[in-house]
Chain A
Amino acid sequence: MKAVRWVFIAAYLLVAAVPLVWLFVTSIKYDIDVTAEKVKWIPNPATPKNAPTVTFPPTVGQSWLLLNDKAYAQTEFPLIHYFINSLIVAFVSTLASVALGTSCAYGFSRFKIAGDKDWLFFILSTRFLPPLAVVVPILIMYRTLNLTDTMFGLILLYTVFNLSLAVWLMKGFIDEIPKAYEEAALVDGYSWMQAFWKIIVPQAATGMAVTAVFCLISAWNEFGFALILNNSQKAMTAPVIFKYFLGRTTGVPWALLAAGALLYAVPIIIFTVIVRKHILRGMTFGTIKQ
């Protein structure tokens, strides 16, 4: 029984890890070696013999440096440009989501709001609203307001998109803070706003950080709306440029893409390790507590 267990775990870990390792191996190869009909786990540093006059990347491992080179990728900007766009969009929208979500969650947690049950149900249901039921009007709305092809448009959309998650997660965290803390502060002459800033915000800081990580990851990874609303390479986020490369029939710069993909995955891996204790809560809207 024990052996079966270990074999199963080991097999699964292997299947889970091999793609990432292979991605790394690919990222340090020559493109011509990537598409060779032979499995090579260790890249050959020698320049391939029958290579075309210009072999990319010029030396093994150099695809990582080419991330900042637009000529090789044949895009308007170097790959790193799209990563920076993703970074800006993800960070700004996360800040907005967490701020709005925390204040909204506090309101629902501490005050009697007319129809609060219905509002909370509505907030939750927006998360399950299939994007395809709203994507067409949002596209038209964005065209009318000139928000297509802008980073601001994406930031606004991701903020709202993550808001339902932020409200639900933060409500869970704030509900856990004893009301006696604020009541004591109010008795001491604090106003509600002061109580919110000086009692709730510090107490809920962990919760806000966890919520922020989830918002960050979902904004960082979002693809569908970015594809539809954002077609100018100036404001394009990284997932859309990956799709652009994958859609090419020839001339896919595999080594560069592998390096880019790995670079794009690294922050997510780090964040996953940081919030591992809260992942279940985040993925199930705080309905299951660990």
Chain B
Amino acid sequence: MDQGPRKVPSFFLLKYGFVGPALVLLVAFNIFPLFSNIYFSFTDAESDLSGMKGVGGENYGTVFNKPMYGEAMRTTAVFTVVVVAVELVLGFCLALCLRDSFRGRDVVLTALLIPMMLCPLVVSLFWKLILNSNFGLFYLTLRDGLGMQDPPAILERSPLVAVMIVDIWMWTPFMMLIALAGLNSIPKYIYEAAEIDRAGRWTVFLRITLPMCAPILLLAVLLRTTDALKQFDLVMALVGENLSQTQTLSVLLYQRAIASQKVGEGAAYGFVILVAVIALSTLFTRYIDYIQRKQGKS
């Protein structure tokens, strides 16, 4: 911290003038809704708040007893584990391929960045064109091009897999990018030392590359996990909110609290999720702190 002239009284106004407006807005849009959410969760509020009355813990009972909530949790867990794992493996392989510089590397890297920056709705739109089982490019190519008898109608028969495919398409480059940063941060002399010791390619990979990349890959996994748990856009665009197979946590909340107007129930559900996610976020922020301290040292 600076040793500036901070004892001057008007300084107080000045420094809080800088940070104040942003903090007020953040509190108004996060802390205030958070508490009113807890309040609503103990009421039978529907979209019209008049005539709302307290119902004690009834909503929480509903959330823990209705099978659809448990199912949504399972769907989200399966979705998250699969997409994060596939993205990690694919992204890391890509990063290994793109590690050494070659002509056109910048172009390839830039091209790979585009999917994750696109609007999920736009992405879903063209994937719907591709996966459609009447006129989709993928379906027709399998049937006419490769002569497959009965190609899988992914979007209709296993919509969750379709959502996974699109998510993987969008976010693998993100893993690649972070893995690449990890690979680039490994000092060259370690590899040179390994060469002198005549370590084999696999040994070098398992004993040097992987462990040295691990912390940063874990960061990527945490970031992607918190994101995948919130999956909403792709499901809404590709499938809609009413199919139980693809109801992730957010989609189910939308269907209950917004479409069916069960505000109280939705609020209780939101709060349960929040408690679960706080644990993960704490882990994440602690981890960032750790990474930054490490960066500061080196």
Chain A residues proximal to chain B, CB less than 8 Å: 5, 8-9, 12-13, 15-20, 22-23, 26, 34-39, 100-101, 103-104, 106-108, 110-113, 119, 121-126, 128-141, 157, 159-161, 163-164, 167, 179, 183, 186, 192-193, 196, 217, 220-221, 223-224, 227-228, 238-239, 242-243, 246-247, 254, 257-258, 261, 264-265, 268-269, 271-273, 276, 279-280, 283-285, 287-290
Contact of B114 among A122, A125, A269 (CB under 8 A): A269
Q: Check B119 against A224 for contact (C-beta < 8 Å).
A: no
Residues of chain B contacted by A104 (CB below 8 angstroms):
18-19, 21-23
Q: What DSSP secondary structure best describes chain B's contact surface?
A: helix
- Contacting pair B271 A107 (CB below 8 A): no
In the bound complex, how far is the Cα of B57 from the Cα of A170, in angstroms? 43
Contact B30 A12 (CB under 8 A): no
Which residues of B line the A interface, CB within 8 A? Answer: 1-2, 4, 6, 11, 14-16, 18-19, 21-23, 25-26, 28-30, 32-34, 36-37, 40, 49, 90, 93-94, 97-98, 106, 108-130, 134-135, 137, 140-141, 144-145, 169, 172-174, 177-178, 181, 216, 219, 223, 226, 229-230, 232-233, 236-238, 240, 249-250, 253-254, 257-258, 263, 266-267, 269-271, 273-274, 277, 280-281, 284-285, 288, 291-292, 295
Chain B residues contacting A130 (CB-CB under 8 Å) are: 229-230, 249-250, 270, 273-274, 277
Chain B residues lying within 8 Å of A223, measured Cβ to Cβ, are 119-121, 232-233, 236-237
Select one of A16, A183, A288 contacting B178, CB under 8 A: A288
Interface centre among A34, A247, A288 (most CB of B within 10 A): A288
14 A-B contact pairs sorted by A residue (CB < 8 Å): A22-B137, A35-B135, A37-B134, A104-B23, A123-B23, A124-B285, A130-B273, A137-B267, A141-B33, A164-B26, A228-B258, A243-B121, A265-B119, A265-B122
Report how many A-B pairs have Cβ atoms within 8 Å.
297
Is A254 touching B274 in the complex (CB atoms < 8 A)?
no
* A-side contacts of B141, CB under 8 Å: 39
